[in-house]
Amino acid sequence: MSEQWLDELKWDEQGLIPAIAQEHDSGKVVMFAWMNRESLALTLKEGFAIYWSRSRVKLWRKGEESGNVQKIHSIRADCDRDVLLLSIEQVGGVACHTGRHSCFYFELKDDQWQAVEPVLKDPAQMYGKK
């Protein structure tokens, strides 16, 4: 399989590209992460979102610990080909490590950041911590 399509993207100096995960049915943006060539190629091959964890410096299969995987419906690039938009099905309904549906749960109200989405699942249960 040709990887020319990977060469057509604009990777940053670390070999990464930003990826936005958006639910295919609701259109809601649930998270942002980084991908490298390997994670994007594996995402296409396996049909589930695989990101590059900058903090862990390794591939991160979304849901590998929590079980909240992201099934890929489509992958798009923006007009500059420097940002990806993943249309996904968020299996388990939780995208955020805090146990919320979306990582974008802080809203600026009256000059303060306020959490506006509830915790749906205890992170300790998702990650097996006590």
**104 in a structural domain:** no
pLDDT tens digits, one per residue of 2-53: 789 999 999 999 999 999 999 999 999 999 999 999 999 999 999 999 999 9
Domain of residue 70, residue span:
4-92
**99 in a structural domain:** no
Tell me, rounded to whole angstroms, the distance of Cα 7 from its chain centroid: 21
The pTM of the full predicted model, rounded to 2 decimals, is 0.92
- Count the domains in the chain: 1
CATH number for position 54:
3.10.20.810
Residues paired with 108 in a beta bridge:
113
Distance (Å, whole) CA 44 – CA 72: 8
In the block, tokens 């942002």 appear at 32
- Cβ proximity of 32 and 20 under 8 Å: yes
**43 in a structural domain:** yes
What percent of the chain clears pLDDT 90, i.e. is strictly above it? 92
- Cβ proximity of 19 and 34 under 8 Å: yes
Confidence check: pLDDT of 102 > 60: yes
- Give every CB contact of residue 117 below 8 A, 6+ residues apart in sequence: 100, 101, 102, 105
Confidence check: pLDDT of 130 > 70: no
